[in-house]
Amino acid sequence: RRAAIQMDFGNLNPEQQKAALATEGPLLLLAGAGSGKTTVLIHRIANLIKYGRGADSDEVPAWVTGEDLAFLEDYVANPAPEKKERQEKLCRLEPAAPWSILAITFTNKAAGELKDRLERMLGPEANDVWASTFHSACVRILRRDIDRLGFERSFTIYDTADSERVVKDIVKAFNLDEKTFSARTVLGYLSRAKDAMLSGTDYLEQCEKGGDFRLIKMAKIYVEYERRLKEANALDFDDIILDTVRLLREYEEVRTYYQRKFRYVLIDEYQDTNNLQYLLASTLAGGYENICVVGDDDQSIYRFRGATIENILSFEQQYKGARVIRLEQNYRSTKNILEASNAVIKNNEGRKGKELWTEHDQGEKLQCYTASNEHEEAQYVAAQILAGYSAHRAWKDHAVLYRMNAQSNQLEQAFKRNGIPYRIIGGIRFFDRAEVKDMVAYLSAVNNPGDDLRLARIINNPPRGIGTTTIERAQHIAHTQGLSLWEVVSRPRQWEELSKAAPKLGQFAEMMDELRKLSQEMPLPDFYEELVQRTGYAAMLEQKNTVEDRTRLENVHEVLSSIQSYLDNAVEEPSLAGFLDEIALYTDLDSHDPNEDCVVMMTMHSAKGLEFPVVFVVGVEEGIFPGIRAIGEPEEMEEERRLCYVAMTRAKEKLYMTCASQRMLFGRTNSNRPSRFLGEIPPELVEKSGRLPYGERGEGERPARRTAPVRRTFDHGYSMGTASAAPAAAAGQRAPAGDFKVGDTVQHKAFGGGLITKLTPMGGDALVEIAFDKVGTKKLMLKSAAQYMK
Ligand code: ATP
Ligand code: MG
């Protein structure tokens, strides 16, 4: 029987098979990146559902007798597809019900992928497996029973921005210094207190004993924070775990229910669990103790959030008789990528030490590119991706990883200018936020009365008693009579079917007319503030005054920053229309299809567990990566290095690492040296390019002295198709806009042939719309695009 089952898992290596088939009892799978840990976890679940208990034993169900045994023997020698059904039936000892399996992953994306893969292996019944993050599993548990803890089941979840908002309000109300008690710092303390299972009052008591004035204040904030969240019937991310643990500990009934239900508990990325998550996992698995944890100590990257590697290291002590299985073969990356990653992580002292090997080819060398500034870096990445795309890679084969979300901005702009579709994982783009879209819609409707789409978005937002039916009727009239929506709603009395709504529509039209008048008379920033007030949008948010609404209000005001930066850089006489043009490229109304083929962008932290054929690790500079806080702090430096290991090992075939010698971030320009991590990669594995290649294994050394000041050239001058993309000498000297006009047919290196349908001058550049034969219509910035077009 065992042999017949193993055939099903024949694509796993012997150690992987062992881990997938040993169903009962605690198991620790400890292994490096890309060694198939997650793969094993998935096969383990498949095995549980298909065959159940004891797949690794020779035990055979009692009812399998002579003839069936002979069949199984024959099957092992000669496994034909038509025998499959009988084989599976005979091998089943005690299959696990899908709902009795709890699989915890680190991100929702990973949970989704796990379910997809299971469904492909097993069919729809796989959907009943509880596959989710700790947080989603807890929310599910809480929605059922949280009333026992005095919350309503309909509780709201506060995200980090919401929590920060609450803390800021409290700090203000308490008259405390906003720097000493920054929201981030305070939340850090609260998080640690919660991880130690301390409530507000527990923590206050503890701090009062210690007598530290600042900590006492911190604890008082915690008490108030707790009160406010309770009042709002809200839970933050930490509460979700903490309250679940409380619920399970304090209510035996609830605990027993889940302990009986979850016969098998599996946890991926176990190196990143904190104390609470550890308590949660061991409580949930407390019934059967069939707990399988999977992890890699070299990839522990959440210690700053209280994750503790101790959870992995003490697993064997916690569960006597736990099996430990290690894997050493990497199936993901080329030899070069693997050797480079191994060389970097070797510099960490606090590690158990293990080395991975691969049967894969040497592969291409790593590409390390030094740009002179962040624009050039972004343009380099864009150029390489376009080259990859024209060499028949999909967009989604490319991933761009950065240390901080704020770094995405430049890259986004370069991708927009070049028509590269992209998606940001784990963050909403500023201009994609609903309230920001609303404000842009108002501005557009003021600027252009004929903008029906935008007008429809805002006509009853905030609510003005103009119902959907009225809007639909007006749209219908507009459509059938060839009028714009504005022409209809501003003269409602002309149409019988609008007569009832006429007063409300009239008021709205009057307001819009007034706004149009003001927009002619006032400076743009003043006008914007007037608009926010007069439309009633601010009042709506102020009145609702929930934490989310205050965040929205902040975003509404943040649009002013964009206006200001437009005014600072405007080439022509600034105007509302000019501003809308400027942001047009970033505020496309068409919603974005998440399944579309896209380049993916995310922080290195969110990339954990994922893999891509081509990976760009950007901003590999001292002060960015490793971050400024890690410099001079050995423990934090080791965490940054593990993060580097995680980032590098995401790549299957090609790995790019880029840095810029000058970078503007958060409004400041800094000169940064190339990261020490680059210096830790053996030079023979690397091909360097760019303006100021970093020194030979000279980690942390100053780059070669510059002979000329760095030119802040922007997005010109790269040639396609060359990996090193040396900047052309002609940078900035060409005025490509002059060479193209509407009606021209063009040949773009990545997108093929197309026709220019629209050209809108914008500052020193132009927005060009090209209808491509193969990829449809794209909006590109001419200066960027011109270098790829004939
Ligand atoms: P990470 O530490 O980054 O989370 P991991 O150990 O979970 O990595 P997986 O993601 O499971 O590794 O596997 C890495 C890649 O190797 C995947 O593409 C997977 O399909 C492949 N792989 C795993 N095991 C095998 C095998 N026995 N034969 C062939 N390919 C394999
Ligand atoms: Mg994994």
At 710 the pLDDT is 34
Q: Is the pLDDT of residue 547 over 80?
A: no
At 571 the pLDDT is 62
At 427 the pLDDT is 64
Identify the CA nearest to 21 among candidates 292, 286, 320: 292
Tokens describing residue 449: 């009365």
Q: Is the pLDDT of residue 707 over 60?
A: no
Distance, in Å, from the CA atom of 513 to the CA atom of 464, rounded to the nearest integer, reads 16
Number of Cβ within a 10 Å radius of residue 49: 23
Between the CA of residue 448 and those of 484, 534, 577, what are the distances in Å? 11, 18, 9
Please provide the size of the chain in residues: 790
Q: Which residues line ligand 1 (CB under 6 A)?
A: 11-13, 16, 31, 33-39, 296, 299, 331-332, 609, 611, 649
pTM of the shown model: 0.79
Residues in Cβ contact with 14 at an 8 Å cutoff, skipping those fewer than 6 apart: none
Annotated catalytic residue: which of 107, 299, 410, 413? 299
Q: Residue 721: which pLDDT band, with cuts at 50, 70 and 90?
A: very low
Annotated catalytic residue: which of 269, 296, 298, 376? 269
Phi, psi (deg, nearest 5) at residue 396: -70, -5
Residues 75-97 have a mean pLDDT of 88
Q: Residue 700: which pLDDT band, with cuts at 50, 70 and 90?
A: very low
- 59-73, 254-268, 478-492: which has the minimum mean pLDDT? 59-73
Q: How far is the CA of 647 from the centre of ligand 2 (A)?
A: 13
Q: Is the pLDDT of residue 190 over 50?
A: yes
Provide the percentage of residues in the chain whose pLDDT is more than 90.
57
Provide the percentage of residues in the chain whose pLDDT is more than 70.
91
Alpha helices, DSSP H, located in 585-681: 634-648, 676-679
At 593 the pLDDT is 57
> pLDDT higher for 279 or 161?
279
Q: How far is the CA of 38 from the centre of ligand 2 (A)?
A: 4
Residues in Cβ contact with 317 at an 8 Å cutoff, skipping those fewer than 6 apart: none
Number of Cβ within a 10 Å radius of residue 597: 12
Q: Residue 645: which pLDDT band, with cuts at 50, 70 and 90?
A: very high
The 3-state secondary structure of 188-252 reads HHHHHHHHCCCCHHHHHHHHHHHCCHHHHHHHHHHHHHHHHHHHCCEECHHHHHHHHHHHHHHCH
Residues in Cβ contact with 573 at an 8 Å cutoff, skipping those fewer than 6 apart: none
- 92-96, 147-151, 159-163: which has the minimum mean pLDDT? 159-163
This complex has an ipTM of: 0.99
> pLDDT higher for 717 or 132?
132
Omega into 594 within 30° of 0, i.e. cis?
no
Number of Cβ within a 10 Å radius of residue 747: 11
Residue carrying structure tokens 């059967």? 288
How would you list the strands of the sheet with 745-748, edge to edge? 745-748, 752-762, 765-772, 776-781
At 242 the pLDDT is 96
Which tens digits make up the pLDDT trace of 665-689? 766 778 999 999 999 999 999 999 9
What is the pLDDT of the chain when averaged over all its residues? 87
- 72-86, 578-592, 678-692: which has the minimum mean pLDDT? 578-592
- Tell me which DSSP letter residue 129 carries: S
- Residue 295: beta bridge partners? 30
Q: Is the pLDDT of residue 542 over 60?
A: yes
Q: How far is the CA of 673 from the centre of ligand 2 (A)?
A: 32
Q: Is the pLDDT of residue 93 over 50?
A: yes
At 692 the pLDDT is 58
At 246 the pLDDT is 96
At 401 the pLDDT is 97
Distance, in Å, from the CA atom of 606 to the CA atom of 133, rounded to the nearest integer, reads 13
Q: Is 253 helix (H, G, I), strand (E, B) or coil?
A: helix
Q: Residue 490: which pLDDT band, with cuts at 50, 70 and 90?
A: very high
Annotated catalytic residue: which of 17, 23, 37, 641? 37
> pLDDT higher for 695 or 469?
469
Residues 179-190 have a mean pLDDT of 92
Ligand found nearest the CA of 43: 1
Which tens digits make up the pLDDT trace of 297-336? 999 998 877 888 888 888 988 998 899 999 999 999 999 9
